[in-house]
Every structure is written in structure tokens, then in C-alpha cells.
A and B are shown apart, each in its own frame.
Chain A
Amino acid sequence: MFATKGLIYTDDDRALAKLMSGYWGRFAATGDPNGDGAPTWPRYEVAKDQHLTIDVVPSTGSQLRRTQCDTWDQVRE
């Protein structure tokens, strides 16, 4: 993301940097990371509990670390 000096980048690294920078830039501009042909990042809904795994080829899933999250959900102030 910040092109840290001294590291060696592969084509996959560069592709991922471009994808992520695009998501961030569009989110900053419009509040929606989607667009420019990037794989769709689904809007979060509690009922679906979806997430996007950001990689060279992103994928969507749901209920990430559900057990751990449910534990935290039980913690009340």
C-alpha cells in the first residue's frame, strides 16, 4: 500500500496494492468501495454476516470467526 522501501514486490503484490488502493480511494470519494470493475464488496448486513477476503482474487464469505465474535457479543458493558 505504501510501497515500503527495501522490500521486493511481485506482480501479485502490485495487483493487490492496486485493488486495495482502488477500494480505499473509492470509499474515500463516495463512501462505497465498489466500482471500476473491482470484485463486489458486499455491504454488511447482520443477518448475512458477510465479509470480503481481500486477495489477488478476492472472495466473499460469511460468519468469519463466528465463535470468537459471538463470545465478544456476549460481553456487556
Chain B
Amino acid sequence: MVRLLALAFLIFLCPELSRAYDIVLISGGPALRSHERFKVNTHDRYWGNFVDSALARVKELRKEFGPDDKITWLVFRPGYIRRGIEEKQDYLKILEERGQLHGLTPIYFDDKEQLFTLLRRNGSPEKPLIARLEYYGHSNKKCWMFDYSNRVDGGAIEPLVVHVDDLENISGSSFTPNAMCVSYGCHSGEEFSQRWRMVVGRPMVGAVGKTDYSAGGMPKLSEGKGGSWVY
């Protein structure tokens, strides 16, 4: 009885304790093999790098956060459609099946404007604040590239790139005060993380150097490059 009273008192003092939060996982799209096949630094031999790594994280996140907290999985749809056409596979169906195994249904976005809309939160039960955000996909020190080497060889189309100059579209009020963000793309820690903290107002962990998805599961820093994770 005393415990219940103490809990009610705490909720009265700090109403945020009673709310469920959102954990957002973002999966970018894979490159096309027709663009990458003969390159020295080839990318995405496997189509599902950014799907598998995001899903591998789900079990850990469920332990870390409360049972009421929701995991939202945002997936860049056009990249998987084009790669599926190239390899004559229905990758959307496959990734939906994999998501179901972890109790997740992908929410698709087709460009960065849609992503910004999905990240706009007001703390209501329909749009809970984001307590954690993680990005799995192609990036460099300046931006996230959802369709790297997909529509054009070796680059990404303008509406499908979140450049550091676009970060003003992401509001810090959509996040909890102690929210943590991580970018598992390459080189994010060299500039993107710092600009994120300055503009969005929440810390972001990013890699100095390249990240490597080749072992499956969570990405690691590429060996031999002297990389590190930084804020």
C-alpha cells in the first residue's frame, strides 16, 4: 500500500513517468548490385544489412525499456522495391515476415519529408515522445543517404538525403529530455552527430570511420581504420 502511494506521488510530481515512450529504429535502403558489382569498395552484397541489424537490436531494447514502450520500425520502402526488381524478389514481403518474428510491423517512408512527419511528436498517446532513435543505413559525415547507389550510381537523390542542413526539420521537443540517439552509418561521428546535438538538442553517438555490417547482427567499426564511437 505504501509502495502504491509512493508511486502515485511520484507520478503526480513527474507525469512523464506514467507515459509510454517510443523507440524509433530507422532502416535505410540497400544499393543496387548493378551499380556496385565491379567496384573495389563494393557495398551491400546482401540486401538485408539494415533490416537484420535493426531487428537484432529489438530483443536488447525490449529488456532495456518498459513493457509499455513501443518500438517503431521505419523502413525506406523504394530502396527495397528497386533491389527486389533487380533480383526478382519481393523483399518487402520478406522483411515484413522477419519483422513479425520480432513483433514489429514496418512503417514505410518514401522520402525525407515523410520521415520528418513520422518523427514529429507531441507526447500524446498517438504520438508519444521518442526516448531512443537508432539509424541503420548508408551515411557519410554530412548526411544519411537512404538510397545510396540505388537510383544513381555512387550517390543519393536529393529528396532522399537527410543532410545536416535539413536537421532543422527535426524538433527537439519530439524527444524526451534524456533521449539518446545513435547512428550506425559510416562517418556520422565526424560531423553529423555534433550538428544533431546542436540543432536537435539531443546527443547522438556516431562512428568515426566506417561501420561494417558484414558479420551480420549489429554493425561494428571497420577493423584497421582506427575508428571510434563518439558523441
A and B are partners in one complex rather than unrelated chains: no
Q: Which residues of B pack against A, CB within 8 Å?
A: none
Q: Which residues of A pack against B, CB within 8 Å?
A: none
